[in-house]
Amino acid sequence: MVALLVIGALASSCGIGGAGFNGKPADVFSIIPTQADVRSLMGDNTWWEGAPTFGVQPLNAETAPATERFSVSQLYRHIGTDEYLLARYSVFDKTSSASSYMSTVEQSLGTSPSTPKVGDQVLYYGQFSSGGAPYVTSTFVRVGQFVLTLTWSRKDRGVTVDMLARNARKFSAPLKDIGKVRAKPRTADPDLLPPAGVSITLLGSAQLPVEAFAVMTLTSLPEEIVALLKQSGISTLPYGDYALNNDTSMEVQTVLLPFPSEADATSWADTFSPAKPDASGIAFDYLPASGTPAAGVYHFVFSSGRYGGFMICKAAVDGRAATRECEDPVHTVALAWKLSLQGLR
C-alpha cells in the first residue's frame, strides 16, 4: 500500500459524552443515510444501496472487541464502476473506549490532517489499492462513544480532505442527537422472514430498496434486473440479517421477493438459480468472488407460491471465503422458509 494522505486527531468535549447511549441497532440503522441521501450527496443517481450488516452478538463472537457493544454497516455501490462507499457505525461501551480505539488507529496508520474538523475527533487516511477503483480513503469520526468509519473507493485521482469531510459530516451529523432517536419503521415484517429455528440467529431486519437485491447478488446486469423487478411491482424487499450458529464468523442474509403470481416467482427462480434445484426445490451453489464485500459466497434460491426466496451465506469479514459450514444448516432454513410461505397469500 502507498499512502496518499496523512492525518491527525482532534478532540473536544461535545457530543454524547458520558450520558451514554442505550439504544438498539435498529435506532442506529434508522439514522444512516438512505439511497436517496447518498445519490444527493454524490450528485449521481447510479449509487445503489446494498444490504446492511448488524454487527451484534453472536456474529463474530470470538473476535469482537470487548469494549464494542455492537456495530451497523451499510454498503453503497456506484453502478457502472467498481466504486463503493462503506459506512460502519461502531458503538462502544463508553466514550473513553471510543477514544482509545481512535488512538489505536492513529498509532497504526500514522498522523493525519487536523482539519476540517468533524465530530469530536477525526482521522483521514488514503491508500492505493487494486482493481477498477484503486484510490481508497478511510475516514474515522468519533462522536462521543460512537466511531464512524467511512471507506470510499474511487476510480479517479484527486480526492481531497475537504471531500472526505463533506461525506463524514453527512454520515456523522445524526449522531449528535441519536440519544433522542427511536427507530423509524424500516424493519421488515417478521412474517416475511425465515421462521425461527436452531440454525441461525436474527441480528436485525430492514425494508430495503429493490436495488439492494442487485447489489447483493453481484449480478453483471444490475439495471436490467432491477427494471424487471420493478415491472413486476416490486419496489422494496424485506431483508433479514443472521449469524450462522455453527460458525458465527458466517453471516446469512435473506430477501423475499413478492411476485404478482406463482408463475412469475417460478420463472424468477428458474432464472436466478445458481444450480439445478434438488428434490426439495432448493437450488444452491458456492460462487467464487473477489474484492469487497466477499471472496466466495453461497447462494440459495427457491420459490414458494408467489414468493421468491433468496439467501446468501458469506464470511462476516471482507476478503474471506464462506465455509462449507453454510451448506447443511442454510439448506435446512431455506426448506423451512419455503414451507412456511405456503400459508401466505
C-alpha radius of gyration, the chain, whole number: 20
Cell of residue 332, nine digits: 435446512
> Could you give the percent of the chain with pLDDT greater than 70?
91
Q: Are both 35 and 158 inside the same structural domain?
A: yes
Task: Place 295 in a pLDDT band, splitting at 50, 70 and 90.
Answer: confident
Residue 11 is assigned to a structural domain of this protein: no
Q: 184 or 227: whose pLDDT is higher?
A: 227
Average pLDDT over residues 82-88: 97
Cell of residue 207, nine digits: 425494508
Q: Are both 215 and 79 inside the same structural domain?
A: no
Q: Are both 115 and 150 inside the same structural domain?
A: yes
Residue 203 is assigned to a structural domain of this protein: yes
Model pLDDT, residue 275: 94
Residue 107 contacts by C-beta under 8 Å, 6 or more apart in sequence? none
Residue 3 is assigned to a structural domain of this protein: no
Q: What span, in angstroms and rounded, lies between the C-alpha atoms of 29 and 25?
A: 6
Side-chain half-sphere CA neighbours of 108 within 13 A: 10
Query: DSSP letter string over 269-284?
Result: HHHH-SS---TTS-EE
Q: Are both 320 and 201 inside the same structural domain?
A: yes
Q: Are both 164 and 218 inside the same structural domain?
A: no
pLDDT for residue 328 is more than 80: yes
Model pLDDT, residue 62: 84
Model pLDDT, residue 186: 76
pLDDT for residue 18 is more than 70: no
Residue 146 is assigned to a structural domain of this protein: yes
Residue 34 CB: number of other CB atoms within 10 A?
13
Cα–Cα distances (Å) from 21 to 42, 280, 303, in that order, read 30, 46, 42
Task: Place 219 in a pLDDT band, splitting at 50, 70 and 90.
Answer: confident
pLDDT tens digit sequence for 255-280: 999 999 999 999 999 999 999 999 99
The pTM (predicted TM-score) of the whole model is 0.90
Query: DSSP letter string over 36-52?
Result: HHHHHHHT-TTEEE---
Cα–Cα distances (Å) from 6 to 51, 106, 111, 124, 160, in that order, read 31, 10, 6, 7, 11
Side-chain half-sphere CA neighbours of 28 within 13 A: 28
What is the tally of structural domains in the chain?
A: 2
Q: Are both 37 and 142 inside the same structural domain?
A: yes
Q: Are both 29 and 47 inside the same structural domain?
A: yes
Q: How many residues comprise the chain?
A: 345
Q: Are both 336 and 311 inside the same structural domain?
A: yes
CATH code assigned at 38: 3.40.1000.70
Residue 9 is assigned to a structural domain of this protein: no
Model pLDDT, residue 198: 95
DSSP SS3 for 74: strand
pLDDT for residue 315 is more than 90: yes
Task: Place 204 in a pLDDT band, splitting at 50, 70 and 90.
Answer: very high
- Dihedral sign (CA 86, 100, 105, 123): positive
Residue 4 is assigned to a structural domain of this protein: no
180, 202, 232 — which closes off a domain? 180
Classify 305 in phi/psi space as left (phi over 0), alpha (psi -120 to 50) or beta.
Answer: left
Model pLDDT, residue 58: 96
Q: What span, in angstroms and rounded, lies between the C-alpha atoms of 291 and 288?
A: 11
Q: Are both 102 and 196 inside the same structural domain?
A: no
Query: DSSP letter string over 242-253?
Result: EEETT-TTEEEE
180, 203, 227 — which closes off a domain? 180
Q: What span, in angstroms and rounded, lies between the C-alpha atoms of 40 and 49?
A: 13
Query: DSSP letter string over 151-210?
Result: EEEESSS---HHHHHHHHHHHHGGGGGGGG----S-SPPGGGSPPP-SSEEEEEEEEEET
Average pLDDT, the chain: 90
Cell of residue 180, nine digits: 433522542
Average pLDDT over residues 204-216: 95
> Could you give the percent of the chain with pLDDT greater than 90?
78
Q: Are both 114 and 224 inside the same structural domain?
A: no
Beta carbons of 98 and 142 less than 8 angstroms apart: yes
Model pLDDT, residue 263: 96
Residue 73 is assigned to a structural domain of this protein: yes
Residue type for position 32? I
pLDDT for residue 88 is more than 60: yes
Q: Are both 318 and 265 inside the same structural domain?
A: yes
Model pLDDT, residue 290: 65
CATH code assigned at 308: 3.40.1000
Average pLDDT over residues 300-321: 93
Model pLDDT, residue 283: 97
Model pLDDT, residue 7: 34
Task: Place 152 in a pLDDT band, splitting at 50, 70 and 90.
Answer: very high
Task: Place 129 in a pLDDT band, splitting at 50, 70 and 90.
Answer: confident
Beta carbons of 251 and 245 less than 8 angstroms apart: no
DSSP SS3 for 211: helix
Residues forming a β-bridge with 90 = 71, 147
Task: Place 4 in a pLDDT band, splitting at 50, 70 and 90.
Answer: very low
* Stretch among 2-16, 119-133, 148-162 having the lowest mean pLDDT: 2-16
Model pLDDT, residue 192: 95
Residue 55 domain boundaries: 17-180
Q: Are both 154 and 199 inside the same structural domain?
A: no
Which of 155-164, 179-188, 283-292, 316-325 reaches the highest mean pLDDT?
155-164
160, 180, 200 — which closes off a domain? 180
Residue type for position 298? Y
Cell of residue 98, nine digits: 471510543
Residue 39 is assigned to a structural domain of this protein: yes
